[in-house]
Structures are given as structure tokens and as C-alpha cells.
């Protein structure tokens, strides 16, 4: 979609796009119907929604478009994705991984108590929503009745959750997972949990996350705001990792492999599913480029030289 006549300024571009973006697109390549609706003009700290490009270069876009895209299930990967399935397959598991639970155990009482607290603090609507920003988008592990594209403020997506020495990492090359860190904003999806069996579904999601209680956040969607829980990181927690450069994070992601697969696969799947929601996270796209470069240059084993990592708790 091009808006060549919309004007030169960001304001004119946004105004011109509003007039143009009532469309039904038919794609014979398998995407049967895409209904694009302009929900509102809203200021964003970053312009990371595609396919629109309003000329934002990392600066505030005062009149960027908030767009919710309703699509049939998409099967194709984003264009120009450098971290291909072939490169992901190069990362192989070459060391023994401790069996599940061979480490610090989270007592069942934590999950039960956390679930009870969440169910007791539901908003007036009585609905339970969960904000998905990473693997919950493509491997939810629970039953959800509805998904809405949305955005939260005050938190941003970051590789700051570690070290994982079993799930997608190992003792030699631990993994570093996505979490929500303070500041900025994050585009993702709000998932509504089925009312029937809500607590059981909530427990299933809680058990796949580190024992950091989730927080209530407001998710701005095209249909209106919803209150949802979000799995944020705690900067005072042993799970919080900071201070790594982009290159160091890419080194981790290009080598780590665990019981559930590799970190390269985790990154690939997250980028693909964000793009199917119309969300272009430039940080993740830059990271997948760095990881692709590393996997394209190594010998296929994923062993590019082990680095000595701090001995932190596993989850």
C-alpha cells in the first residue's frame, strides 16, 4: 500500500492514510481476506506497525496510525526474514541437559496462590485477559476464546529473562528469553481466557513462566481498552539480566538449545507471528539479522566457542 499523494509531513501522511485505509484486499496466495480498519490516530513513542511506514526513524510519531488487522490465518513468513528455517536448523543440541525439575523447584502453592489472587482481582467485566508478546503468540499452552491486537505502555519487549539451562538453553550455552522490562511500550495481543475452566487455563500458563507474579496492565485495542495480566520481569529478581550488547545477545541466541528447541527457533517464531499481526518490531528484526549472520558463518554445530556465563538460577 502506497500513499504517494498523502503529503510530505507526518501529519499529512497520517491524514492521507486515514482516507485511503478502508480496504478489502484479496490475495490469491492463500491470504483470502484482509480487512484493514483504521481505529484511531494515536501518538506512539515508536513507529513499529506495518505495513504502514509513516517515515518514523525512531522518533515520536505524533499522528501515527493505530491499526487493527483482521486476517485469515497466515502461513507465510514475513518478507526478507533473514533468519530462515534452514539457518535455525543449524543449531543443534550437543550437550546433555538436566531433566526437568533438576534444580530449584517452585512449590505448587505459589501457582495456586497466584492464580487465586488473579481470579479474585478480575476487573468488573469478570473477563480474564492475558497480554501475549512472545511465545504465548505461537505456543499458548491454554485455551483462549478471543485474540485482539493491542499495545501496552510503560513496558517494552526485551531479552532480559535468564539464564535458561534446560528449556531453550543448556549448561554450556544457556538461553535468554523475552520478557517485559520497564519503559517504552509494547505491541502484542490480548488473549481472552475461556470463562469455563479459567483457573485451570491460568494455572497452565503460570506454570510455564518463571515465578514472578504477573501484573495488571491496560491493553489498548481497536475495540477498546481491556485489563489484562502481563508477565513482566522484576529488576530485583535473579531472573533479570541486563547490560548485554546487541552483539552479546545475538551470540546467546545463535548458540542456545534446550529440551524445547533452540533460541534461534524461538526468535524466528516470535518475529513471524508478530508480523502476521501487523507488528514490526525493529529491535527483534535487527536481532534476527544478527543471529542469521552468525548462523550463516558457523560450521552448523552451533558451537562457536563457549562463553563463561554467571552461575545464576535456572527456571
Residue tagged 522518533 (cell numbers): 59
Q: How far apart are CA 239 and CA 201, in angstroms?
A: 24
In angstroms, the CA 114 to CA 205 distance is 11
In whole angstroms, give the CA distance from residue 139 to residue 281. Answer: 19
Bridge-based pairing of strands 261-262 and 144-164 is unpaired
Cα–Cα distance, 212 to 232 (Å, whole number):
8
Residues 6+ apart with CB under 8 A from 23: 1, 35, 36
Distance in angstroms (rounded) separating the CA atoms of residues 228 and 233 = 16
Active site residue: 116, 209, 275, 293, which one? 209
How far, in Å, are 95, 170, 181 from residue 260 at the CA level? 14, 11, 24
Cα 180 from Cα 167, distance rounded (Å): 19
Using the 8-state DSSP alphabet, how is residue 49 labeled? B
Catalytic-residue membership of 209: yes
Cell of 53: 511506514
Helix (H, G, I), strand (E, B) or coil at 149: strand
Catalytic amino acids?
209
Amino acid at each position: 500500500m502506497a500513499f504517494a499523494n498523502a503529503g510530505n509531513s507526518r501529519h499529512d501522511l497520517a491524514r492521507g492514510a486515514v482516507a485511503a485505509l478502508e480496504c478489502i484486499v484479496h490475495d490469491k496466495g492463500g491470504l483470502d481476506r484482509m480487512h484493514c480498519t483504521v481505529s484511531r490516530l494515536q501518538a506512539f513513542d515508536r513507529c513499529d506497525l506495518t505495513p504502514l511506514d509513516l517515515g518514523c526513524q525512531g522518533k515520536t510519531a505524533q499522528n501515527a496510525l493505530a491499526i487493527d488487522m483482521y486476517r485469515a490465518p497466515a502461513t507465510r513468513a514475513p518478507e526478507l526474514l533473514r533468519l530462515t528455517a534452514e539457518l535455525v536448523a543449524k543449531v543443534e543440541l550437543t550437550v546433555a541437559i538436566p531433566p526437568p525439575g533438576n534444580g530449584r523447584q517452585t512449590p505448587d502453592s505459589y501457582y495456586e496462590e497466584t492464580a487465586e489472587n488473579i481470579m479474585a482481582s478480575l476487573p468488573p467485566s469478570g473477563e480474564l485477559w492475558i497480554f501475549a508478546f512472545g511465545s504465548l503468540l505461537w505456543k499458548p499452552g491454554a485455551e483462549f476464546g478471543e485474540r485482539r491486537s493491542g499495545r501496552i505502555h510503560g513496558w517494552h519487549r526485551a531479552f532480559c529473562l535468564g539464564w535458561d539451562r534446560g528449556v531453550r538453553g543448556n549448561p554450556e550455552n544457556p538461553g535468554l528469553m523475552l520478557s517485559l522490562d520497564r519503559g517504552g511500550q509494547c505491541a502484542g495481543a490480548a488473549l481472552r481466557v475461556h470463562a469455563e475452566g479459567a483457573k485451570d487455563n491460568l494455572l497452565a500458563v503460570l506454570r510455564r513462566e518463571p515465578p514472578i507474579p504477573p501484573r495488571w496492565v491496560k491493553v489498548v485495542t481497536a475495540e477498546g481498552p481491556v485489563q489484562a495480566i502481563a508477565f513482566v520481569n522484576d529488576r530485583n529478581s535473579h531472573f533479570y539480566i541486563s547490560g548485554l550488547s546487541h552483539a552479546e545477545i545475538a551470540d546467546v541466541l545463535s548458540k542456545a538449545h534446550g529440551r524445547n528447541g533452540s533460541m534461534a527457533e524461538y526468535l524466528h517464531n516470535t518475529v513471524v507471528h508478530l508480523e502476521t499481526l501487523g507488528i514490526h518490531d525493529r529491535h527483534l528484526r535487527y536481532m534476527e539479522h544478527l543471529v542469521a549472520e552468525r548462523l550463516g558463518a558457523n560450521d552448523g554445530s552451533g558451537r562457536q566457542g563457549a562463553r563463561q556465563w554467571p552461575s545464576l538460577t535456572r527456571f
